[in-house]
């Protein structure tokens, strides 16, 4: 009997030891996995971006079975640099920043865009003191006014919706660079600040992303007694998720397809509100050829 008890105790000890060893090995293996890092262009207040994208990181981590971390950046250029330097493997870019990033990292791909990003647009907004009124034609909107008496602010220098496309249409209509059209040109840094600066009168006219305008309006941050939309651009492709070309080698075979599938299957309204988008749809590098062509036409990329 004593011998049997000894055998049982030994067996239990071996089993327990084996389970502990397996657990330690599993934990060690998980710890060995690299962290999958993503960022997003800073198109709104940084504290709000942190809250929004930390939730997205949690979602991605659960679905991808790897540690996922969101890191904020200070500018559009910094987002592109982080992607180029492999500080991030995935980024929520605007159209122009995505084109720039993919040009710097050979083989990187646009994998998903917001449903709305197929047909994005920008608003030209103006302080009511200018006397400018809404018009379907850009040159007609300014026809009775001397634009050289007005100031104009874009968003970030690298913004598709806050700089690239509005500048393209201004040049097309006025046959001149913005510096020659208006008395002073500024760059607010993000769309929310553009609205605030035009609303306060710090700048009289500005270019803003339509989604940010609608979000700020819904949040009660736009005083329509002071500022309003005077013109809307034609539509163009914009924001997208871009992923580096080497993620399968680092995170496992088919990881890029898994990331793509996870983004396309994001259905939680709270998560989608972080962008804000109603859903994500497939995207490819070819979708952004119009952005690249426009950027080359006005000298923003070589």
Q: What is the pLDDT of residues 201-233, one digit of tens each?
A: 999 999 999 999 999 999 999 999 999 999 999
With a cut of 50, say whether residue 176 has pLDDT above it.
Answer: yes
pLDDT > 90 fraction of the chain, expressed in percent and rounded:
79
Residue 6's pLDDT band, with cuts at 50, 70 and 90, is low
Position 19 scores a pLDDT of 47
Least confident of 21-25, 59-63, 236-240: 21-25
Rounded average pLDDT over 53-78: 95
Domains in the chain (CATH in brackets) are: 33-118+238-297 (3.40.190.10), 121-232 (3.40.190.10)
**What is the signed CA dihedral for 46, 49, 51, 54, rounded to 10 degrees?**
-120
Q: Is the pLDDT of residue 183 over 60?
A: yes
**H-helix or E-strand containing 232?**
strand 227-232
pLDDT higher at 239 or 297? 239
Q: What is the pLDDT of residue 30?
A: 46
Output the average pLDDT for the chain.
90
Please give the span between the terminal C-alpha atoms of the chain, in angstroms, as a whole number: 86
Please indicate whether residue 105 or residue 4 has the higher confidence score (pLDDT).
105
pLDDT in tens, 121-171: 999 999 999 999 999 999 999 998 999 999 999 999 989 999 999 999 999
Adjacent-strand bridge partners of 209: 122
According to the model, what pLDDT value does residue 275 have?
87
**At what angle are helices 46-64 and 255-264 packed, to 10 degrees?**
120
- Work out the average pLDDT over 38-63: 87
Answer whether 0.75 is exceeded by the pTM: yes
| Structure tokens that stand for 76 in this block | 């559009």
Structure tokens, 31: 């710890």
């Amino acid at each position: 009997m004593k011998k049997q008890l000894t055998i049982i105790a030994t067996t239990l000890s071996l089993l327990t030891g084996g389970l502990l060893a397996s657990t330690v090995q599993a934990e060690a293996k998980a710890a060995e996995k690299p962290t999958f890092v993503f960022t997003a262009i800073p198109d709104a207040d940084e504290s709000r971006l942190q809250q929004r994208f930390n939730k997205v990181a949690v979602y991605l981590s659960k679905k991808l079975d790897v540690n996922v971390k969101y890191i904020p950046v200070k500018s559009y250029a910094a987002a592109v640099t982080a992607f180029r330097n492999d500080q991030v493997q995935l980024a929520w870019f605007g159209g122009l920043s995505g084109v720039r990033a993919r040009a710097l990292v050979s083989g990187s791909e646009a994998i998903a865009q917001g449903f709305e990003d197929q047909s994005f647009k920008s608003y030209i907004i103006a302080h009511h003191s200018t006397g400018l009124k809404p018009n379907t034609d850009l040159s007609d909107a300014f026809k009775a006014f001397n634009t050289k008496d007005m100031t104009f602010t874009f968003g970030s220098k690298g913004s598709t919706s806050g700089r690239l496309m509005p500048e393209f249409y201004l040049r097309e209509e006025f046959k001149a660079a913005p510096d020659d059209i208006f008395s002073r040109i500024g760059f607010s840094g993000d769309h929310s600040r553009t609205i605030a600066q035009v609303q306060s009168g710090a700048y009289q006219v500005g270019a803003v992303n339509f989604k940010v305008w609608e979000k700020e309006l819904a949040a009660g941050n736009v005083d329509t007694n002071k500022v309003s939309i005077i013109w809307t651009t034609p539509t163009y492709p914009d924001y997208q998720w871009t992923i580096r070309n080497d993620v399968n080698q680092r995170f496992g075979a088919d990881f890029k397809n898994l990331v793509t599938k996870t983004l396309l299957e994001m259905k939680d309204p709270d998560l989608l509100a972080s962008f804000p988008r109603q859903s994500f749809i497939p995207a490819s590098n070819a979708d952004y050829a119009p952005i690249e062509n426009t950027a080359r036409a006005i000298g923003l990329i070589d």
